[in-house]
Amino acid sequence: MRPIRWGILGAAKFAQEHMGPAIHAARGAELVAIATSSAPKAAAFQAFAPQLVVHDSYDALLADPAIDAVYVPLPNHLHVEWSLRALAAGKHVLCEKPMTLQTAEFDQLIAARDRSGKLAAEAYMIVHHPQFIRARELVQEGAIGDLVHVDATFTYFNDDAANVRNKPEAGGGGLRDIGVYTFGAARFVTGQEPDDIPYAKLRLDNDVDVFAQVAANFPGFTYAATVSMRAFPRQEITFHGEKGVLTLSCPFNANVFGAALLSLENEAQSVTSERWPGVNQYVLQVENFCQSVQTGTAYPCPLEFSRGTQQMMDMVFAAGGRPA
């Protein structure tokens, strides 16, 4: 079976350090092109993919018939536009999160996906990692009894005004950058959607949220999250049940922030741990994407799932007095 041939729109640092190498390494994938007008940035990609073709514009890459799929790591406010353009050009699309800035924009993407017959998805890599697949199995099979509460934390420090995450015109802010993980992780593991957001406190800097505390009610449990890009790096998610506690101590940047570790404590006061030291969730994401394109199997993170996370995001912004 011929590999899926990939092109990258832009030469973002994240694409250079993580997704470019992942596409290059993934089974069933071949990284063949990048669109950038910067020779030094192109050279950084060619260092690990020497045969890479360099296009000087995004449109030129989309017009290249040798490319089957496009990865979009552009600033947040450009995601919808270039995902739609790529679908219209007959390419499959994997776009960085948040794929949209408002829930309604997902409806455009879903309609465009269906018209094109191509696969389009948000690059939400954590659902491809075995630690989250295992967490979902444990919670839904009752390993911790009835779920009572979920607590999620994701923080890092970035006060660089020139960084795109601190630019309101580019769709910046901590919630859009990393809040998607704290929200989507709870939804993925439990299979539930929030009923309401009774509390959301946002702290702004330069008109972007830099600290957020969120409380939500789900049908079967309560939820709390802390999200910040003005705090010392920390990440953890805990599922607290009537008969046990399940903790993921490095849930979002596995093997980058720290080791992927799942701990389960039960009524007998015993603790069991599972680790995945050699797993690259970015590679798994690309491989699952390619397999879905090649075989028609269901993709683990369809647009409909990502739409649900954006809907929760919109609810949080509204509860915090800041409509999306």
Q: Where do the domains of the chain lie, and which CATH numbers do they carry?
A: 4-123 (3.40.50.720), 127-279 (3.30.360.10)
Q: Give residue 304's pLDDT.
A: 98
pLDDT tens readout for residues 48-63:
999 999 999 999 999 9
Eight-state DSSP code of residue 254: B
Q: Give residue 1's pLDDT.
A: 85
Q: Are strands 4-9 and 69-72 parallel, antiparallel or unpaired?
A: parallel
| 8 A C-beta contact, residue 295 and residue 285 | no
pLDDT tens readout for residues 282-315:
999 999 999 999 999 999 999 999 999 999 999 9
Task: Give dist(CA 313, CA 324) in Å, integer.
Answer: 8
Question: Which of the residues 41, 91, 97, 167 is marked catalytic?
Answer: 97
For 277-318, the DSSP string reads TT--HHHHHHHHHHHHHHH-PPPSS-HHHHHHHHHHHHHHHH
| 8 A C-beta contact, residue 92 and residue 293 | yes
Q: Is 188 exposed, middle or buried (0-12, 13-18, 19+ CB in 10 A)?
A: buried
167 is catalytic: no
pLDDT tens readout for residues 140-161:
999 999 999 999 999 999 999 9
Q: Give residue 236's pLDDT.
A: 98
User: Is the confidence at residue 89, as pLDDT, over 90?
Assistant: yes
pLDDT tens readout for residues 94-147:
999 999 999 999 999 999 999 999 999 999 999 999 999 999 999 999 999 999
> For the CA atoms of 109, 115, 121, 122, what is the dihedral angle to 10 degrees?
-10
Q: In residues, how long is the chain? A: 324
Task: Give dist(CA 95, CA 122) in Å, integer.
Answer: 5
Query: Which CA distances in Å does 46 have to 32, 40, 69, 191?
Result: 10, 10, 19, 41
Task: Give dist(CA 83, CA 86) in Å, integer.
Answer: 5
Say which residues have a Cβ less than 8 Å from residue 165's Cβ, sequence separation at least 6: 158, 172, 173, 174, 177, 208, 229
* CA of residue 8 relative to chain centroid, distance: 17
User: Is the confidence at residue 7, as pLDDT, over 70?
Assistant: yes
User: Is the confidence at residue 255, as pLDDT, over 90?
Assistant: no
CB-CB neighbours of 92 under 10 Å: 24
Say which residues have a Cβ less than 8 Å from residue 146's Cβ, sequence separation at least 6: 220, 241, 242, 243
pTM here is: 0.96
Q: Please provide the average confidence, as pLDDT, over all residues in the chain.
A: 96
**Per residue in 41-78, is it b (16+ CB within 10 Å) or e — as a string?**
bbebbeeebeebbbbeebeebbebeebbbbbbbbbbbb
Q: Give residue 104's pLDDT.
A: 96
pLDDT tens readout for residues 213-249:
999 999 999 999 999 999 999 999 999 999 999 999 9
Q: Are strands 53-55 and 29-35 parallel, antiparallel or unpaired?
A: parallel
Say which residues have a Cβ less than 8 Å from residue 221's Cβ, sequence separation at least 6: 147, 148, 149, 150, 190, 192
Q: Give residue 324's pLDDT.
A: 67
Q: Are strands 244-248 and 261-266 parallel, antiparallel or unpaired?
A: antiparallel
User: Is the confidence at residue 65, as pLDDT, over 90?
Assistant: yes
Task: Give dist(CA 313, CA 64) in Å, integer.
Answer: 36
Q: Give residue 10's pLDDT.
A: 97
Q: Give residue 322's pLDDT.
A: 81
29 dihedral zone (left: phi>0; alpha: psi -120 to 50; beta): beta
